[in-house]
Amino acid sequence: MIRAQEMILIGSAGRNAGKTTLAAAFIKRWKGTFPVTALKVTSIPSRSHRCPRGGESCGACHALGGADFALQEEKEEKEAEGAPAVPDKDTARLLRAGADRVFWLRSLYDALEAGYRAFLEKAPPYTLVVCESNSLREAVDPGCFIMLQNRDEPEMKPSAARVASLADVSAAPEDVAGILARVTVERDRAGARVRVR
């Protein structure tokens, strides 16, 4: 287990529960105080596993090719009018929120730790890491792990069920202000250190 005191990890009980909205709020809150790096993690159970999105092609599974993980940095691509090319993509939203750098880690479940270590090699030193993932909590011990509870989806995703008991904060997605108030970031010799009130 990798200790990551500089990380705010955001998971959710179901899909479309507001992880990116909360991550963007944390980025906006801390971007003037710390360098902020955002990380979105998509875990893939196995090479032979059926698509976790029910067959919708988001490109995550195919991007691996024969590798165990793929790490891609989001770059702001501009169209002729100056607007981001894919404005609703989660990683583009995190970049627009003010993150200094944004990465998307797509990884086989068994390779999450190796994928995260590859991310650490590219992340700037002394950075605050704001990350979206349930599964990464099984490889990383963050400064704060937040579990968003989506009331519209009473059934919890398997990845959330495995780590829900490890959450430091469990809250409804609409309580962004309350969640922001409970999480503080302090500076120490190693950089950012996340704490929960």
CATH code, 9:
3.40.50
pLDDT confidence tier of residue 69, bands split at 50, 70 and 90: very high
Does the structure show a pLDDT above 50 at 83? no
pLDDT confidence tier of residue 84, bands split at 50, 70 and 90: very low
Q: Measure the CA–CA gap between 145 and 183, rounded to whole angstroms.
A: 10
Instruction: Residue 42: give the domain boundaries.
Output: 2-196
Looking at this protein, which amino acid is placed at residue 73?
Answer: E
Does the structure show a pLDDT above 60 at 52? no
pTM to 2 decimal places: 0.86
| Three-state SS sequence of the chain | CEEEEEEEEEEECCCCCCHHHHHHHHHHHHCCCCCEEEEEEEEECCCCCCCCCCCCCCCHHHHCCCCCEEEEECCCCECCCCCECCCCCHHHHHHHCCCCEEEEEEEEHHHHHHHHHHHHHHCCCCCEEEEECCHHHHCEEEEEEEEECCCCCCCCCHHHHHHHHHCCEEECCCCHHHHHHHEEEEEECCEEEEEEC
**What pLDDT score was predicted for residue 60?**
55
Q: Measure the CA–CA gap between 79 and 135, rounded to whole angstroms.
A: 34
pLDDT confidence tier of residue 190, bands split at 50, 70 and 90: confident
Please compute the mean of the pLDDT values over residues 100-129 and round it to a whole number: 94
**What pLDDT score was predicted for residue 168?**
96
Please compute the mean of the pLDDT values over residues 152-165 and round it to a whole number: 85
Out of 12-21, 43-52, 71-80, 143-152, least confident range? 43-52
Total number of domains in the chain: 1
Please compute the mean of the pLDDT values over residues 64-75 and round it to a whole number: 85
